[in-house]
Chains A and B, each alone.
Chain A
Amino acid sequence: MTRLGILVALLLICSSSIAQECFQYYKEHCHPEKSNFHYNVNDKSTSFLFSSGETREIPFILQNGKDYRIQICADPVFEDIIKFEIVGVSENNTIYTNSSNNFALNLEFVNRKTQEVKMILAAPELAEGMSDSIYYQGCIALLIEEMITVKTGF
């Protein structure tokens, strides 16, 4: 019983230490490409420990008149295959999905309506029968940057 207790405690410590490592992941691993625009990091940017088959919803409010740049960064264990969706809360409609865009892990867009959305991240579930189908986990980050839409034209 004591040994089992120690094992559980060790597992908990390990897991919590990995989770701690993920805490600052987006600051260390998300490096957006240089562009002609200066974005500010939104404080809803987050990183966390993520596992195969897991789905995470991050509530967010898109503001009218703002441009957003979103980048998903993940440990190599995910092999850059992460599903990302933006879903409108009021109508439950999919506003964007990266599955129709080759699972791109970045998105830069102009937002034209203030709306409550959910940003949904999902790591693929393990395929059954695969010899190397082992449960995996790693850090994943969602970097959200924003800027006021620049005026164009006179």
Chain B
Amino acid sequence: MIKQLIKITTFVIVISLPLLGFSQTNDYTVRKCFGYQKDSCKISRNIFYKVHNESRSALFLKGQTSQTPITIYNGRDYRISLCWDHVLGNQIQFRLLDRETNDLLYDNATDEFSSDFEFTVTQTREIIIEISIPGSSSLVEAMGNDELIIVRKDTDMGCLGVLIEHMITPTKGF
């Protein structure tokens, strides 16, 4: 009986292995980037940080700029880190802007294009995380031009994840 069970299990594993391999596709049409930040961005070693549910990922073209809003709360520390497919380049620019005034709060271009940034919030604010991918793409260039109706497809695209972690600001001193 046990032997039969082992045989069946082995058979099922042997059959399903190629199927599992086949299912690991590079197909961008099947939400390949979904959950990318969970799988690819390194979480902080600080155990007090919790992953923020505004963490997200998306498919990006070279030369594309995209923004996502987030509310940051007074009395909390935040860590924003990026991770991306190597096809998008070595350095990605990210900026934090005040959503209301559009004031620049942080630009990683002044921080050697660091892929993570940790900060303390002293005033609750709505901010924008702006991601800019270096390079160019025919589709991005055509975005502002309504006269271009068909645009050569650029297949140079990749996933980018924004991992946001937060915790209550630890008390300093006694």
Contacts and interface: CB of A to CB of B under 8 A. Distances in A.
A152 B61 contact: yes
A150 B150 contact: no
Contacts, number: 71
Interface residues of A, number: 25
Given A110-B139, A113-B149, A154-B66, A35 B155 contact: yes
Interface of A is mostly: strand
Interface centre among B58, B59, B66, B150 (most CB of A within 10 A): B150
B29 interface: yes
A110 B150 contact: yes
20 contacts: A36-B26, A36-B27, A36-B28, A38-B29, A38-B30, A95-B149, A108-B152, A109-B150, A109-B152, A110-B152, A112-B148, A112-B150, A150-B28, A151-B58, A152-B58, A152-B60, A152-B64, A153-B58, A153-B61, A154-B58
By Cβ-Cβ distance, the 10 closest A-B pairs, closest first, are A153-B66, A154-B68, A108-B153, A109-B150, A113-B149, A154-B66, A36-B26, A38-B29, A110-B151, A152-B59
Given A36-B28, A147-B29, A152 B151 contact: no
Interface string B28-70: 1110100000000000000000000000101111001111100
B157 interface: yes
A111 interface: yes
Interface of A: 35-38, 62, 67, 69, 86, 95-96, 107-113, 115, 147-148, 150-154
